[in-house]
Homo-oligomer: A and B are copies of this chain.
Amino acid sequence: MASEVRTKAALAQDATAIMNRLTTEQKNTALLRMADALLTEQANIIAANELDLQRGREQGTSPSLLDRLSLNSDRVAAIAEGLRQIVELPDPVGELLEHFDRPNGLKINKIRVPIGVIGMIYEARPNVTVDAAGLCLKTGNCVVLRGGSAALESNRKIVEILKNALHATDMPADAIQLIEDSDRASVNEMLKLNGLLDVVIPRGGASLIRNVIENATVPVIETGAGICHTFVDESADYTMAVEIAFNAKVQRPSVCNSMETLLVHETFAGQHLIPLAERFLQAGVELRGCEKTVALIPGTKLASDEDFGTEYNDYIMNVRIVSDLDGALSHIRRFSTKHSECIVTENKDNAERFIQDVDAAAVYHNASTRFTDGFEFGFGAEIGISTQKLHARGPMGLPALTSTKYQIFGNGQIRG
């Protein structure tokens, strides 16, 4: 007998033909029904969520994780509102991207089409279940969801409600599949389902991502890892530099676009590093520095290469004093995960060189790296932030969930 994973992925793949034909209006109608159903059935969702919370408490889950897992009436309303916002976004499917008229009379269109079946592997809060389903369905894709076991009861109830909401619509209920098998083997089975899954998108911590990269034969869109730097150049405006660096580190340290390492030009450091460091120390940020930093800021721990290569996602920051722009570029080349990098400078030539030379999904001049985000970029949605160079790089909006197809119109052309 086929496994749960294979059976459900095959149902999703079978549903792609119908999804592919749906109009934007048909998709939007279905998404609105789903939003309504989540509100109507919120008591059932909260009850299922309570089972997850109870199991979590019994297993000693930390209060902060329990809080992320927990759903209440406001949170369910926010999730439903998220679906309504997806309805408002333009539908990329069907967009004519290119057209060529060939000398032999062939007319060639390149148009956007759904990818097919998207496998989402995640460990985050139950809102990801609805959010990912909404984005995939809006773009005409089917989705196979594999959430973390901590949210299984919540996810099960949510997906049941979403599927039921589709019964009176043109969208097939099979377009949404939830893998309920919480064994790691079900993830690994998904990773090898070439032909049934067209892409796998992992969202979660480093070990989840690594497992996907190492084991997938299905194409993957890698998301997440961010060792981001801010380089404060010699000519930087002091107030701007402090505000940008502080925002990049402290506003939300747990996310991938926050800063891990501050690089400071030695002249700027000589004049300003002491008060700058003070600002971070007062906010409870632990500093780890290069030898020059340690000499300037007594009590600072010496940073190792391992520190410079670590994504802390926490109130810890490396500081390195560099002799010039080249020193900063060289450090970034060595330690960057190519996510988001920033230069703060009043020197236009240096800004241009940094923007040109740094190889990253997002390169900033005089703004916080925290802006690397689909909503901040104006995409109205985000399925994740790609840290690979193929297909999509940086924040991924709806077009990142599409592929393309060439349509060729002839009148009997054959190749000579």
Chain B residue at minimal CB-CB distance from A240: B412
- Cα distance A360–B20 when bound, in Å? 12
The answer to whether residues A243 and B405 also contact, given A357-B20, A388-B219 and a CB cut-off of 8 A, is no
Interface residues of A in 354-394 (CB under 8 A from B): 355-357, 359-368, 370-372, 376-378, 388-391, 393-394
With a cutoff of 8 Å between Cβ atoms, the chain B residues found around residue A361 in the complex are 405-406
Q: Mark A232-262, 1 if CB is under 8 A from B, else 0.
A: 0000010010011011100100000000000
| A213 located at the interface, meaning its Cβ lies under 8 Å from any Cβ of chain B in the complex | yes
Smallest Cβ distance from A363 to chain B, in angstroms? 6
| A184 located at the interface, meaning its Cβ lies under 8 Å from any Cβ of chain B in the complex | no
With a cutoff of 8 Å between Cβ atoms, the chain B residues found around residue A376 in the complex are 102, 415
Stretch at the interface among A108-116, A142-150, A275-283, A299-307: A108-116
With a cutoff of 8 Å between Cβ atoms, the chain B residues found around residue A217 in the complex are 213-214
With a cutoff of 8 Å between Cβ atoms, the chain B residues found around residue A388 in the complex are 219
Q: How many copies does the complex hold?
A: 2
Chain B residue at minimal CB-CB distance from A413: B367
Binding site for B on A (CB under 8 A): 16-17, 20-21, 100, 102, 106, 108, 113, 115-116, 194, 198-199, 213-214, 217, 219-222, 237, 240, 243-244, 246-248, 251, 329, 333, 355-357, 359-368, 370-372, 376-378, 388-391, 393-394, 403-415
Cross-chain pairs A/B with CB under 8 angstroms, 18 sampled = A17-B333, A17-B357, A194-B213, A213-B217, A214-B217, A219-B389, A221-B390, A240-B411, A244-B414, A248-B414, A363-B406, A364-B408, A367-B408, A367-B409, A368-B415, A370-B414, A371-B413, A394-B406
**Which 5 residue pairs of A and B lie closest in terms of their CB atoms, listed nearest first?**
A367-B410, A247-B414, A389-B403, A391-B391, A370-B415
